[in-house]
Amino acid sequence: MSSLRIPDLAGKVFLVTGASTGIGAAVALALGEQGASVAVHYNASAEPAKKVAAGIEKAGAKAFLIKGDVTTPAGPAKIVEAAATRFGKLDGLINNAGSLVKRTPIADGDDAFDHAVFDLNAHSVVRASRAALPWLKRQGGVIINTTSISARNGGGGGAVLYAASKGLVSTLTRGMAKEFVGDKIRVNAVAPGLIDTLFHERGTPQAMYKSQEASIPMGRAGTPEECVGTYLFLASEALSGYITGQVIEVNGGQLMP
């Protein structure tokens, strides 16, 4: 993406949650390459986050590292306030933080596990978006949520609750788009399919991964970098100014709704 120039992203301020690895890291770096200032959120992965920030600064843009736990009731708001206060404004929120937590069949779960999955993948999106709203209202802006192919297909083995939490994110995207449109805030989402990240390295058995890969018409998993263009497109008013409430699938043809 370093050779691509989207002029209206330069000078904008974005917060990317879960930006230390995977899709979040790729998006944060790409925004920096476009000349945007980027708040790089992380929780446990400090060293990878520092590398992302260094890459943004190497591209000539400003980066700000924010450590925080999005699963706590107050965590997302603190992260948003830290980012907006540091840069004096906020033009875009990328709600990307999320995880499978662990593959657990419904029968083997409990209330604590249920809350852990939904707090990370869904409630954090509500809380961060609510906190960002007053800042985005000042000049208009964008919220881009990361949902998943699993929101449509129910997820793989042991991932039903994760899929359900992402289904909430997809529905939330459409609802917020309607609520926020009067404030010139566009809300959209990206739904990645099988993407080669730590998400699957940590939580998907190899046999399951290969089976999912075999179902993709393109014949392979995607990369985080192959998701980036969709986020940049949705972040740009010039490119997608009349698009809101949409969930864009990035899955190599694995699902064609």
Give the active site residues. Answer: 162
- CA–CA distance, 78 with 246 (Å, rounded to integer): 28
- CA–CA distance, 159 with 99 (Å, rounded to integer): 10
Tell me the Ramachandran region of residue 155: left when phi exceeds 0, alpha when psi lies from -120 to 50, beta otherwise.
left
- CA–CA distance, 197 with 168 (Å, rounded to integer): 22
- CA–CA distance, 229 with 217 (Å, rounded to integer): 20
The CA angle 101-229-91, to the nearest 5 degrees, is 80
Q: Are 16 and 41 in contact (CB under 8 A)?
A: yes
**Amino acid present at 156:** G
- 51-58 contacts, C-beta under 8 A, 24 or more apart: 52/19, 52/20, 52/25, 52/28, 55/29, 56/28, 56/29, 56/31, 56/32, 57/32
Q: Give the pair of three-digit tokens for residue 88.
A: 């004096």
